[in-house]
């Protein structure tokens, strides 16, 4: 028997489902909706840290682009979405939160053709306590990764710039890594070039240049932040294909995501990078990223005392 949450039980998180606000435990979607049965969903995740959203406008803009590409048009405007997310965070009181916005396709009404064009899209949002993709300890000593045998699903089949739930390849790669004693995996495309990993973008640092793949990956907001940090710190940044051999020989490897920030890698398969700890450029980028976050870089502070709407 599941326990019924009380009206005021917001500490574990708050959710908005198609116009209704509720404690996270009470949030449900119909199991026959295509969002669930067909992974017919797009989503975005924005972080709240130090009591402020990070790059909120960028996340909502990307979310809208993704919805447009999937031909989803929920009732809420971008301003509504920002207001809903802020309201959810405020209700939880969390100063460090993982804040998701999903657009889910329903299923067509019985009298309509059984086709996605007739499924109504609706919004599901939630704010829960912050999630670290890798613990602070893993980040401090460097993540242990391997190159997966599983290739990334081709962009011609599933557009990776539309944040999506087609995680079959990423999940398979995570199990490959787990079975081989690693914490995560990097996936290559069909031509053998680096794409990304389960939940993050990846960079190779080669001869002092931070290199990121031009295609086959989400256009990560944290990746954009890494690019801006490189410009500020005078570190060359390049976008070009990274073949497997170059990745295996890279001086440093770095991962980036909302749920973790800038995360150095210290092992790639049997290779130990540097001294089995984050390399100097990775460490500098990680440190600067969090220092600037603390100072309010790209921040939208949450007014926790404002009344909830
Ligand atoms: C597959 C994938 N790539 C990259 C990222 C990183 O994107 P962002 O920095 O915008 O969080 C994510 C984030 O969840 C992701 O799921």
- In this structure, the residue with its CA closest to atom 14 of ligand 1 is 199
220 lines ligand 1 (CB under 6 A): yes
pLDDT of residue 287: 98
Number of Cα atoms under 13 Å in the Cβ half of residue 23: 12
182 Cβ inside 6 Å of ligand 1:
no
**Which residue's CA is minimally distant from atom 7 of ligand 1?**
220
| 222 touches ligand 1 (CB under 6 Å) | yes
Q: Which of 129, 163, 193 is the last residue in one of the domains? A: 129
Q: Any idea what the CATH number is for the domain that residue 92 is in?
A: 3.30.470.10
For residue 261 and ligand 1, the question of a CB distance below 6 A is answered with no
169 shares a domain with 44: no
For residue 164, the model assigns a pLDDT of 98
Q: Are residues 112 and 156 in the same domain?
A: no
Range of the domain at 44: 14-129
- Which uninterrupted H or E stretch holds 14? strand 14-17
The reply to whether 309 falls in a domain is: no
**Does residue 159 sit in the same domain as residue 116?**
no
- Give the residue whose CA is nearest to atom 13 of ligand 1: 199
Coil, strand or helix: which one is 46? strand
Q: Would you state the pLDDT for residue 172?
A: 98
For residue 1, what pLDDT band results from cuts at 50, 70 and 90? very low
Q: Which residues contact 110 (CB under 8 A, 6 or more apart)?
A: none
Rounded to the nearest whole angstrom, what is the distance from the C-alpha of residue 201 to the centroid of ligand 1? 6
State whether the beta carbon of 268 lies less than 6 angstroms from ligand 1: no
Tens of pLDDT along 124-134?
999 999 999 99
Q: Which of 87, 105, 129 is the last residue of a domain?
A: 129
- For the stretch 138-173, pLDDT in tens is 999 999 999 999 999 999 999 999 999 999 999 999
State the CB neighbour count (10 A cutoff) for residue 260.
23
Q: How far is the centre of ligand 1, averaged over its atoms, from the C-alpha of 83 (Å)?
A: 23
Ligand 1 atom with the smallest distance to the CA of 45 is 11
272 and 303 Cβ atoms separated by less than 8 Å: no
Element (H, E) at 284: helix 280-294
Check if the beta carbon of residue 258 is closer than 8 Å to that of residue 222.
Answer: yes
Cα–Cα dist 297/207, whole Å: 29
Give residue-wise pLDDT tens across range 9-50: 898 999 999 999 999 999 999 999 999 999 999 999 999 999
| CATH number of 247's domain | 3.20.10.10
Burial 82-119 (b: 16+ CB within 10 A, else e): bebbbbbbbbbebeebbbbbbbbbbbbeeeeeeebeeb
Q: 124 and 242, same structural domain?
A: no
In a domain, 3, yes or no: no
* Residue 7 pLDDT exceeds 90: no
pLDDT (0 to 100) of residue 176:
98
What values do phi and psi take at 99, rounded to 5?
-120, 115
In a domain, 1, yes or no: no
**Residues in Cβ contact with 183 at an 8 Å cutoff, skipping those fewer than 6 apart:** 134, 138, 143, 144, 145, 177
Domain final residue pick, 114, 129, 144: 129
For the cut 90, the answer to whether the pLDDT of residue 202 exceeds it is: yes
């Amino acid at each position: 028997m599941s326990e019924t949450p009380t009206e005021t039980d917001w500490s574990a998180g708050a959710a908005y489902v198609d116009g209704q606000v509720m404690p996270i435990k009470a949030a449900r979607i119909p199991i026959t909706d295509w969002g669930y049965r067909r992974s017919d969903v797009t989503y975005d995740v924005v972080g709240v840290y130090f009591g402020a959203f990070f790059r909120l406008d960028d996340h909502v803009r990307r979310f809208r682009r993704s919805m447009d590409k999937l031909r989803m048009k929920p009732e809420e405007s971008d301003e509504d979405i920002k207001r809903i997310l802020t309201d959810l965070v405020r209700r939880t009181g969390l100063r460090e939160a993982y804040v998701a916005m999903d657009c889910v396709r329903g299923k067509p009404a019985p009298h309509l053709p059984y086709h996605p064009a007739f499924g109504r899209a609706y919004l599901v949002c939630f704010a829960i306590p912050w999630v670290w993709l890798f613990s602070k300890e893993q980040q401090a000593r460097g993540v242990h990764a391997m190159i997966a045998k599983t290739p990334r699903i081709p962009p011609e089949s599933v557009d990776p710039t539309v944040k999506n739930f087609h995680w079959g390849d990423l999940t398979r790669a995570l199990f490959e890594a787990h079975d081989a004693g690693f914490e995560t995996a990097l996936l290559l495309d069909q031509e053998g070039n680096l794409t990304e990993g389960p939940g993050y973008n990846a960079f190779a640092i080669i001869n002092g240049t931070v290199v990121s793949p031009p295609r086959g990956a989400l256009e990560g907001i944290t990746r954009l932040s890494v690019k801006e940090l490189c410009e500020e710190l005078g570190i060359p940044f390049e976008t070009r294909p990274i073949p497997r051999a170059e990745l295996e020989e890279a001086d440093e490897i770095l991962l980036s995501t909302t749920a973790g920030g800038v995360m150095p890698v210290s092992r790639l398969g049997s290779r130990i990078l540097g001294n089995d700890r984050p390399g100097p450029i990775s460490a500098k980028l990680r440190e600067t990223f969090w220092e600037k976050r603390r100072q309010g870089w790209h921040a939208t502070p949450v007014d926790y005392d404002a009344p909830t709407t």
